[in-house]
Amino acid sequence: MGNYIKGRLKERSSPEVLLRQFADLYGQHPDLYQVQHSGSDEPTILFASAPDWFKGWVDIDASDDPYPDTMWKEFKSFLDGGDNFAGGRYGMARELAGRNLSFFAPYSLGEVCHIVQLAIQSRKIIVYHKKMLKPMTPVLTQTGSTNGTGASSDLDEIGSLLQLCEVLFKTLRSHPGGIRLDRMKQMIKEECNCRLNEMAFQCTKLIELFRQEPLKQTFALENDGKAFYVRAGDPSLFPPDVQRIHASVSSGNALMRS
């Protein structure tokens, strides 16, 4: 993609004229490159034919994990040092690649970026926190004793996904149209005087909670084009434990405690 190429050229301190005209330069070598334009979007640059040394593009969003356990063990040990990284997954990957770490030596920058994505999404050993990528364990320790702003919190923290189901049922009674996902934490705090820390459930994003049972079977996430809303599903399809909780909340009984 043209914007990726431009970003890499900037990293190499390329002159401004090259940044403006890089697509024209590629277009002057049709034996090597194909330049595709689509309206006002950035151009796409393709190889006319892949070089012999080219191993293929790296899909940094792929869910498969082809990397050895020894690499993951050494990476986890490195993260225990507590370093924080700016610039998102690419910024972290670029900094890691620049440190000449032995356990990343066999991998390209694209592969390191894929490793960072897996560390966030699947391995859950790093997490976005305050616009930085950080090791999961220190962040859990920090957020477990504060409200996320550095100040102590006297609110009870939701301790199980069953309790979260009950809290959501209680909140939905006051908001029958659904709970906006981006306001869910605040609404839970206001309605139930408790707080939710998704990282306590090894999730880096709120939406990941609803991929776990029993939430997956109990609630629906619906997008109205502007935001995701959390809505309860069909009570007859709830797991038995959740059915009992739903009946209790519907009858007005007090919230359970974990």
Distance from the Cα of residue 196 to its chain's centroid: 17
Examine residue 10 and state whether it is found in any structural domain, yes or no.
Answer: yes
Whether residue 151 is contained in a domain is answered as no
pTM, two decimal places: 0.57
Are the CB atoms for 214 and 134 separated by under 8 Å? no
Mark whether 93 and 10 lie in a shared domain: no
Q: What is the pLDDT along the chain (258 residues), one digit of tens a residue?
A: 888 888 888 888 899 998 888 989 999 999 999 998 876 678 899 999 888 888 888 888 888 999 999 999 999 998 888 788 888 888 899 899 889 899 999 999 999 999 999 988 888 888 877 777 888 765 555 555 454 444 445 678 888 899 999 999 999 998 989 999 999 999 998 888 888 888 778 777 888 899 889 999 999 999 988 889 999 999 999 999 999 999 999 887 554 444
Query: What's the domain range around 80?
Result: 69-140
Cβ neighbours for 100, distance < 8 A, ≥ 6 positions apart: none
In a domain? residue 228: yes
Locate all alpha helices (DSSP H) within the chain, ordered by sequence. 2-11, 16-27, 69-79, 88-98, 109-121, 136-145, 161-174, 184-192, 206-209, 215-218, 240-250
The total number of structural domains in the chain stands at 3
Please report, for the domain that includes residue 174, its CATH number.
3.30.420.610
Is residue 181 located within the same domain as residue 241? yes
